């Protein structure tokens, strides 16, 4: 087997070994933290060669660092992508990718259900400041996506499953629409992680992660990762160097450590979330549950076809904001906090928290109602999670 032929390895093995580097100086089994801003050259010729591109060695951490490179290599291998880059946050990854792919006068077909900060980036910055046309489309309907494409369309932007409604888009069918065009399909894959969904295999050009979530998994680091085709990522690296939204070496070290248990954590998240969703579906205080693992989810069959699991995050509706507020103030075990993908169970109210930046009309049109609660199900004993939810719902 070739040293880096990860395609022939099992997925859990790939998670551990892709991008793993033994320290060449000390032989350290764990990759050290290369906590340095700059790198020393052997002589002036080597410095010139590195900046000239004929020597691939490191020169300055904004331009590359062993820790971030190892992490990018690992996630690219897990997504079956040709290349990857690390960023200081998920939003840094999204914004840098979009700034690279579109310019004034270009058109973007964007999912009408997106994370609040992504909505703001598209609406206020890309559209409001830079003159990029944005059409908000129900991307769960492939025909609506097809109808929205224009001659100047450059990106179809998907979040699937969507945050926080869990609405899905058929990545393969939508990617098929771009064959023979210059349109790029960009997918926010944060909710599923590479373990349960691999957009590049389904025809997408770029897959983005808020690595803060499931890739890190422990709620102790912020970061973003994008992976995809080399012809996109070589020039994208130039933008990363110039704009500068880099990931630090210590953050990359934490993410490299956290991702090692991705398979174990995702299986437990998935197992717990399905049981919690089934419990909520039968609870008298809950009016609706959104989780693609439920047979009642309108895109359950797509979820089974497109993903190998259903993830650890779900949303549900209660009768009013006041009921939801009482619920959140009554939980004892889980944490009232934004973010997701943590080993701890996190509960929050999207309309007043993560999606408060969206105007009320657009927020409600995307499915984020005042009674919607988002639950990132952790890896605690599921009976304890359910008991805490039950007592809080009855409060």
34 and 286 Cβ atoms separated by less than 8 Å:
no
DSSP state of 24: T
- Give the pLDDT score at 373: 95
pLDDT at 270 over 70: yes
- Give the pLDDT score at 380: 99
Residue 26, CB half-sphere, CA atoms under 13 Å: how many? 5
Question: Among 216, 238, 258, where does a domain finish?
Answer: 258
Q: Supply the range of the domain harboring residue 388.
A: 263-394
pLDDT at 350 over 80: yes
pLDDT at 339 over 90: yes
pLDDT digits (tens, 9 = 90+) for 285-335: 999 999 999 999 999 999 999 999 999 999 999 999 999 999 999 999 999
Of 5-9, 72-76, 268-272, 383-387, least confident by mean pLDDT is 5-9
Given pLDDT bands bounded at 50, 70 and 90, which one contains residue 362? confident
What is the full DSSP assignment across 26-91? Answer: T--SSPP----SB---SSHHHHHHHHHTSS----BGGG--HHHHHHHHHHHHHTT-SEEEEESSHH
- Give the pLDDT score at 82: 97
176 and 314 housed in the same domain: no
Q: Which of 207, 172, 195 is nearest to 268 (CA)?
A: 195
What is the full DSSP assignment across 327-383? Answer: HHHH-SSSEE-S----SS-EEE-GGGTTTTTS-HHHHHHTT--TTEEEEE--SS-HH
Question: Among 199, 229, 258, where does a domain finish?
Answer: 258
Q: Which of 21, 59, 62, 146 is catalytic?
A: 62
Given pLDDT bands bounded at 50, 70 and 90, which one contains residue 390? very high
Q: Which of 58, 115, 157, 290 is catalytic?
A: 115
Q: How many other CB atoms are there within 10 angstroms of residue 77's CB atom?
A: 21
* Domains of the chain: total: 2
Given pLDDT bands bounded at 50, 70 and 90, which one contains residue 3? low
Residue 270 lies in a domain: yes
Quick check: is 62 catalytic? yes
- Give the pLDDT score at 2: 46
- Give the pLDDT score at 353: 87
To which H or E segment does residue 155 belong?
strand 153-159
pLDDT digits (tens, 9 = 90+) for 236-262: 999 999 999 999 999 999 999 999 999
Residue 1 lies in a domain: no
CATH of the domain at 253: 3.40.640.10
The CA-based diameter of the chain, rounded to the nearest angstrom, is: 73
pLDDT digits (tens, 9 = 90+) for 21-65: 888 889 999 999 999 999 999 999 999 999 999 999 999 999 999
326 and 235 housed in the same domain: no
Rounded distance, CA 123 to CA 132, Å?
9
What is the full DSSP assignment across 79-100? Answer: TT-SEEEEESSHHHHHHHHHHH
254 and 270 housed in the same domain: no
Residue 3 lies in a domain: no
Rounded distance, CA 122 to CA 95, Å?
9
CATH of the domain at 380: 3.90.1150.10
13 and 5 Cβ atoms separated by less than 8 Å:
no
In sequence order, what are the beta bridge partners of 290?
Answer: 315
Given pLDDT bands bounded at 50, 70 and 90, which one contains residue 1? very low
Residue 2 lies in a domain: no
Rounded distance, CA 298 to CA 280, Å?
17
214 and 272 housed in the same domain: no
Rounded distance, CA 93 to CA 359, Å?
24
- Helix (H, G, I), strand (E, B), or coil: what is residue 209? strand
Q: How many other CB atoms are there within 10 angstroms of residue 111's CB atom?
A: 27
- Give the pLDDT score at 4: 59
Quick check: is 115 catalytic? yes
pLDDT digits (tens, 9 = 90+) for 109-123: 999 999 989 999 999
Q: Which of 123, 162, 132, 130 is nearest to 357 (CA)?
A: 123
Backbone angles phi and psi of 60, in degrees to 5: -160, 135
Q: Which of 163, 178, 187, 181 is nearest to 114 (CA)?
A: 163
112 and 58 housed in the same domain: yes
- Give the pLDDT score at 21: 86
What is the pairing mode between strands 335-336 and 346-348? parallel
274 and 347 housed in the same domain: yes
Average pLDDT over residues 124-149: 98
214 and 242 Cβ atoms separated by less than 8 Å:
no
């Amino acid at each position: 087997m070739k040293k880096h032929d990860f395609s022939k390895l099992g997925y859990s093995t790939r998670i551990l070994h892709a991008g793993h580097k033994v320290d060449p100086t000390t032989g350290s089994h764990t990759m050290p933290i290369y906590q340095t801003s700059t790198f020393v050259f052997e002589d002036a010729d080597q410095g010139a060669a590195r900046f000239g591109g004929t020597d691939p060695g490191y020169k300055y951490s904004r331009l590359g660092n062993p820790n971030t490179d190892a992490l990018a290599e690992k996630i690219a291998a897990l997504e079956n992508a040709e290349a990857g880059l690390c960023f200081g946050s998920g939003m840094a990854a999204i914004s840098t990718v979009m700034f690279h792919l579109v310019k004034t006068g270009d058109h973007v077909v964007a999912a009408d259900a997106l994370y609040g900060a992504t909505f703001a980036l598209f609406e206020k910055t890309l559209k409001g400041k830079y003159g990029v046309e944005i059409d908000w489309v129900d991307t769960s309907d492939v025909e609506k996506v097809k109808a929205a494409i224009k001659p100047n369309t450059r990106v179809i932007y998907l979040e699937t499953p969507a945050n926080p409604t869990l609405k899905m888009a058929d990545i393969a069918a939508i990617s098929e629409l771009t064959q023979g065009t210059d349109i790029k399909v960009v997918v926010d894959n944060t909710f599923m992680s590479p373990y349960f969904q691999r957009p590049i295999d389904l025809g997408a050009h770029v897959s983005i992660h808020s690595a803060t979530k499931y890739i890190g998994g422990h709620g102790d680091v912020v970061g973003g990762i994008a992976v995809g085709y080399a012809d996109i990522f070589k020039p994208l690296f130039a933008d990363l160097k110039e704009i500068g939204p880099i990931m630090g070496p210590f953050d990359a070290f934490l993410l490299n450590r956290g991702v090692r248990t991705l398979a174990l954590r995702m299986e437990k998240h998935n197992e717990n979330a399905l049981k919690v969703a089934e419990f909520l579906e039968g609870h008298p205080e809950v009016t609706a549950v959104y989780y693609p693992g439920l047979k009642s989810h309108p895109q359950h069959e797509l979820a089974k076809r497109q993903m190998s699991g259903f993830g650890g995050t779900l949303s549900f509706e209660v009768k009013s904001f006041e009921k939801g507020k009482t619920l959140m103030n009554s939980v004892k075990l889980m944490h009232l906090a934004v973010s997701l993908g943590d080993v701890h169970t996190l509960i929050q109210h999207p309309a007043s928290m993560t999606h408060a930046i969206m105007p009320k009309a657009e927020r409600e049109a995307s499915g984020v109602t005042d009674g919607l609660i988002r639950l990132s199900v952790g890896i605690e004993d599921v009976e304890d999670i359910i008991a805490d939810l039950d007592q809080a719902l009855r409060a």
